[in-house]
Amino acid sequence: MPFWILDFRFWIVMNEAELKSRTKQFALRAIRLVDALPRKVSAEVLGKQLIRSASSVGANYRSACRAKSSPDFISKLSIVEEEADESEYWLELIQEAELMKHTLVDPLRTEAHEITAIFTASIKTARRNTQSTRSNPKSKI
141 has a pLDDT exceeding 70: no
Provide the angle, in degrees to the nearest 10, between the axes of the packed helices 70-96 and 16-35.
30
Residue 64 in any domain: the answer is: yes
Radius of gyration of the chain (CA): 17
Q: Determine the pLDDT at residue 103.
A: 97
Residue 17 in any domain: the answer is: yes
Q: Determine the pLDDT at residue 136.
A: 65
> 2 falls in which pLDDT band (50, 70, 90)?
very low
Three-state SS for 14? Answer: strand
Residue 61 in any domain: the answer is: yes
Q: Determine the pLDDT at residue 131.
A: 84
The total number of structural domains that make up the chain: 1
Mean pLDDT in residue range 107-125: 96
Residue 107 in any domain: the answer is: yes
pLDDT digits (tens, 9 = 90+) for 57-112: 999 999 999 999 999 999 999 999 999 999 999 999 999 999 999 999 999 999 99
Task: Name the helix (H) or strand (E) containing 5.
Answer: strand 3-6
Q: Which amino acid is at 91?
A: L
Residue 137 in any domain: the answer is: no
Range of the domain at 106: 3-121
Residue 133 in any domain: the answer is: no
CA separation for the pair 127, 106 (Å, rounded): 32
Q: Please provide the average confidence, as pLDDT, over all residues in the chain.
A: 89
Residue 134 in any domain: the answer is: no
Q: Which of 112, 108, 94 is nearest to 44 (CA)?
A: 94
Q: Determine the pLDDT at residue 14.
A: 75
Three-state SS for 78? Answer: helix
> 132 falls in which pLDDT band (50, 70, 90)?
confident
- Structure pTM? 0.84
The CATH number of the domain where 73 resides is what? 1.20.1440.60
Residue 110 in any domain: the answer is: yes
9 has a pLDDT exceeding 70: no
